[in-house]
Amino acid sequence: MSSSAAAVLYTVTISVSPASAVPDDASKKSHHLKDGFTNPWESWDEFKGMKPWEIAKVLLQRRISGQSNIPDTTPPTVPVQKPEFLPTRETPNLRATWLGHACYYVEFPGGLRVLFDPVFEDRCSPFSWLGPKRYTEVPCQISDIPIIDAVVISHNHYDHLSYPTVKGIAKRHPNCHFFVPLGNKQWFHDSGIKNVTELDWWDQRDITLSPSQNQPTEGKSASQTGDITARISCLPCQHASARGIFDRQKTLWSSWGVESGGRKVFFAGDTGYRSVPLLPDGTDDYGPEHNYPRCPAFKQVGEYRGPFDLGLIPIGAYAPRFIMSCVHADPHDAVHIFQDTQCKRALGMHWGTWVLTEEDVLEPPEKLRQALKRNGLPETGVFDVFGELFGRGYLILSPVIIIIIVINTIDIESNDLNLKRVCQADKLAAIFLVIQILSTYIRLEGDH
């Protein structure tokens, strides 16, 4: 549709989906405020009874005392493998490729190609010279992706929405359509991008890709000459938004569901699950004495839009918990989100790319295995990171994962690793980390 590499050019039609069942409380729009949005659940307690100056004091004390952790990004950390994308729309399977952090490229059976939360820049920041810097290389460039039909954005933080990236996509794939949460459409229009649909939680749209009538059909397969259809659902999650000092919570955040070719994918975006108060380091906040409210939205997603063949769920950027838990799930939260949303399989994301928080860069996968075991789930083959080869007994450390789903069977294809050197995080990133945490309202890098 949107690239010269595609054999057939497609036009896009977006239509309102037929009404589907929604939770009883959806019509209340309780996440809407007079001048913005909020998370309308008990699981959202941003300051956990603390005032901002008290949070700042604790953070400074942690830093001065050496209690806070500065993750070591000295190579090797997460090796990078260049992905191989299908050059055409021909595939009977569902394929998902991780392109770092929260970016996934999903190839649906039947031909739809969707890119989630793409950021191809070195820094996730409003500045090219300041802010968290990649410690793993970008695995590919926009020009390497042959087909992009839709770009789905979870929210406007800089590690999920990049101006240079979306401009680059729109230039190379001019028919590509962008789907964004409520309030973000104007930013795209101001950026010169008009193919945008903004949705509220529980809104749905049907997508029809129709091959151009001006092109000959001789020699082309049925999948190249027939319409491609999909349904996209904007769904709730627990997070926040801001791109500057004065626009906090002015635009909505969301998770998403995409259904096409008989397969359904849940993209959790960036989300918290509970709000954990200040506890001594090392405390098991899932212990019986720590029964904090859980975000009810994910069970609603599972009930009203599930089950899903594949879930893309965040597992990183969670420490310290008393700051991050309300907006960033840790691996234990992620497993519960996986179960609540009724995903058959899942892949982790939101880690292994930028230092945004205090946990060690390779801690999320290890904690995920612990969380799976704790919940009676296999440590591999159900909710995975990297490219764990089922039945092969070893782990390929690569931020590129190709998942093929055929009915109830998942195979993971991977070439030999092309291990590349990765950059050590700029010292400025550590300084910026302090700024971003202390500036709870400002959040320059736009992640929290």
* Cα angle 384-422-101, degrees, rounded to a multiple of 5: 40
Architecture of domain 11-390: 4-Layer Sandwich (3.60)
Q: What is the mean pLDDT of residues 215-223?
A: 51
Structure tokens at 123: 């820094």
Q: Of 71-80, 173-182, 199-208, 234-243, which range is least confident?
A: 71-80
Residue in the structure block whose two tokens are 């770009």: 151
Domains of the chain by residue range: 11-390, 400-445
Confidence of residue 59 (pLDDT cuts 50, 70, 90): confident
What's this model's pTM, rounded to 2 decimal places? 0.85
Q: Distance (Å, rounded) from C-alpha 119 to C-alpha 347? A: 18
Higher pLDDT, residue 303 or 47: 303
Residue % of the chain over a pLDDT of 70: 82
Q: 216: which residues sit within 8 A by CB, 6+ positions away?
A: none
pLDDT above 70 for 410: no
Confidence of residue 215 (pLDDT cuts 50, 70, 90): low
Structure tokens at 213: 């009538």
Quote the pLDDT of residue 7: 53
Q: Which of 105, 114, 108, 104 is nearest to 90 (CA)?
A: 108
pLDDT above 70 for 398: no
pLDDT above 60 for 442: no
Task: Render pLDDT for 35-46 as a digit per residue (tens, 0 to 9).
Answer: 999 999 999 998
H-assigned helices in 185-280: 185-190, 222-225
Q: What is the mean pLDDT of the chain?
A: 85
| Number of CB atoms found within 10 A of residue 250's CB | 17
Contact 357, 328 (CB under 8 A): yes
pLDDT above 50 for 428: no
Q: Of 156-170, 305-319, 431-445, which range is least confident?
A: 431-445
H or E element in which residue 436 lies:
helix 427-438
Quote the pLDDT of residue 220: 53
Confidence of residue 409 (pLDDT cuts 50, 70, 90): very low
Task: Render pLDDT for 115-125 as a digit per residue (tens, 0 to 9).
Answer: 999 999 999 98
* Cα angle 10-15-17, degrees, rounded to a multiple of 5: 125
The torsion angles phi and psi of 435, rounded to 5 degrees, stand at -60, -45
Quote the pLDDT of residue 47: 83
Contact 329, 294 (CB under 8 A): no
Task: Render pLDDT for 224-266 as a digit per residue (tens, 0 to 9).
Answer: 568 999 999 999 999 999 999 999 999 999 999 999 999 999 9
Q: Distance (Å, rounded) from C-alpha 155 to C-alpha 305? A: 20
Structure tokens at 347: 């892949």
Quote the pLDDT of residue 401: 40
Task: Render pLDDT for 373-392 as a digit per residue (tens, 0 to 9).
Answer: 999 999 989 999 963 322 22
Task: Render pLDDT for 265-313 as a digit per residue (tens, 0 to 9).
Answer: 999 999 999 999 999 988 999 999 999 999 999 999 999 999 999 999 9
pLDDT above 90 for 28: yes
